[in-house]
Amino acid sequence: MTHLPSGVSLEFAAPAAAIALEAGALVRNFYQKGVATEYKGDVDLVTEADRSSEKLIVERLHQQFPDHGIYGEEGTRDNIESEYRWYVDPLDGTTNFAHGFPVFCVSLGLEHRPAGIAPDADGTLTAGIVYDPMRDELFIAEKGRGAYLNGKKIHASRINDLAECLMATGFPSRKRHENPNIHFYQQITLRSHGVRRAGSAALDLAYTACGRFDGYWEFNLNPWDTSAGVLLVQEAGGTVTTFDGGPFRLNSKEVLATNGLILNEVKTLFQAMFAGRDLDPILTPKKFAERRAERSR
């Protein structure tokens, strides 16, 4: 299968995609033979596959981009003051992987941090790669050059009504009892075609980029979770903001990705829930049909 777009120069994303494909094959082999699960915290899982994948990725990135820094989920902190910094999630969806649920990926995101940038300021997301080894799907983007799935250009969906949207979210493996997302999950489930919770933030963002999801939100993610997927969404014509529509930042505790067309509707809903205001009534099936008919005239 051809994974890369033809006729498009991808200075950073193409070499990194080859690394993601290799790491994905490694992860897939671990999955097929089975690996032991460990805990790296009270409830957070880690496996030999996570560590082996990160080791491979770090070695290959050093070979391909010797001057770049690397910030990995499993502890790699190499040369992170460099002008370019890779955020590496060697196996996003470890809980799925450990339970034999085949939804996980390798995620690589590149940030450009020019000289003089403040330590707490974001640079520019420059390249993003998300590879799903179980479906052999490679999502790839480079700043200003579009987003692609297995070589074909992708675009965010064009649905402009939350009631007709398929949404996605996620829940943390730790401190779930302190996370308010179940309340958002309930309301958006009632006001949309449904909400999926697949367990991989990077894939959720990639699916938003290619229109499988119309929007995605989550609390308390890390740069290795989001960097690649955020660029995919942006290059596919979507938006990524905080819940109030403010600028997304890599250390943000709020991620709201949409096709752009439903941003205001979702943002207004979130604002009402945060403020404890009464929400608009949920449409009855009859009202939903009437509104659809009006829009189609």
What token pair was written down for 271? 């604002």
pLDDT single digits (tens) 11-30: 999 999 999 999 999 999 99
d(CA 119, CA 123): 10
CATH number of the structural domain 162-292: 3.40.190.80
Half-sphere exposure of 155 (CA within 13 A, CB side): 4
Query: Which run of H or E residues covers position 236?
Result: none
Query: What pLDDT is stored for residue 119 in this prediction?
Result: 85
CB of 85 within 8 A of CB of 4?
A: no
Q: What is the pLDDT of residue 78?
A: 79
On whether the pTM is more than 0.85, the answer is yes
Burial readout 48-58 (b: 16 or more C-beta within 10 A, e: otherwise): ebbbbbbbbbb
Which amino acid makes up residue 121? A
What is the pLDDT at residue 43?
Answer: 41
Residue type, 63: Q
d(CA 188, CA 167): 8
The type of residue at 244 is D
Alpha helices in the chain (DSSP H): 13-33, 48-64, 94-98, 181-190, 201-209, 223-235, 263-275, 285-296
Angle at 95 between CA 212 and CA 86, to 5 degrees: 70
C-alpha 174/C-alpha 37 separation (Å) is: 16
User: Using CA atoms, how far apart are residues 192 and 266, in angstroms rounded to an integer?
Assistant: 11
Instruction: Please report, for the chain, the start and end positions of each structural domain, with discontinuous segments joined by +.
Output: 13-153, 162-292
13-153 CATH pick, 3.40.50.300, 3.40.109.10, 3.40.50.1820, 3.30.540.10: 3.30.540.10
pLDDT at 175: 54
Give me the DSSP letters along 148-163.
Answer: EETTEE--------GG
The answer to whether the CB of 248 falls within 8 A of the CB of 242 is yes
- Digit-by-digit pLDDT tens for the chain (297 residues) are 568 999 899 999 999 999 999 999 999 999 998 766 665 554 455 678 888 999 999 999 999 999 999 998 877 787 888 999 999 999 999 999 989 999 999 999 999 999 889 988 999 999 999 999 999 999 999 999 999 999 999 999 999 999 999 999 998 765 555 567 888 999 999 999 999 999 999 999 999 999 999 999 999 999 999 999 999 999 999 999 999 999 999 988 899 999 999 999 999 999 998 887 777 776 667 766 777 677 766
Exposed/middle/buried for residue 291 (C-beta within 10 Å: 0-12, 13-18, 19+): middle
